[in-house]
Amino acid sequence: MKKLRLSKVVFLISGLMLLAACSDGEDGAVGPQGEQGIQGEPGEDGNANVRSYLFENQTLVDGNTLFTIPAITQDIMDYGVVLGYFQTSSEDFWYALPYRSTQDFHVFIYSIALQQLTIRSTVAASDVDFRFVVIEGTDGSASKVTSVEQELKQAGVDISDFYQVADYYRLTY
């Protein structure tokens, strides 16, 4: 029994000493700077100023087809550019918009508004994929299209070729 009481006393004294050691005094000096950590793996390359939207297996009507694209903001409408491309499910080639075939088939971007884009077509078709590339422009540029087109042209990028645009902006196909 004495051992049990003695351990309680030791515990009580230890607790009191711990409380007495804590104080509301001033903090001590800052310690030395630690060593630099190991360099992490490099992340994926990308471009925060460019967004690509893919709409697969769409039905195109003879008339207007509306797409919701959240990246189309007022800044995009004022200073940016939206590039459009399409392909049929049987092809592996992206056609730039506007597109005009020899069979009187036309498809083009009819209008752009906040968070939406309207395509106009002269024929109906199914299983059509659309891709829209939304590119931020420079605030205050004299001509939004000219600014982005000049940048791409100077870099040797043909904007009618989706693959060249995707490579330039590091977009996935």
> What average pLDDT does this structure show over 73-79?
91
Q: Distance (Å, rounded) from C-alpha 138 to C-alpha 148?
A: 8
Residues 144, 151 contacting (CB under 8 angstroms): no
Q: What number of other Cβ atoms are within 10 A of residue 42's Cβ?
A: 6
Range with top average pLDDT, 41-50, 110-119, 144-153: 110-119
Q: Which of 22-31, 33-42, 56-65 has the lowest mean pLDDT?
A: 33-42
Q: State how far the Cα of 1 lies from the Cα of 99, in Å rounded to an integer.
A: 97
Q: In this structure, what token pair is assigned to residue 162?
A: 């989706």
pTM of the model: 0.69
pLDDT of residue 32: 82
Residue percentage of the chain with pLDDT more than 70:
73
Q: What is the mean pLDDT of the chain?
A: 81
pLDDT at 79: 87
Q: Residue 58 in contact with residue 128, Cβ under 8 Å? A: yes
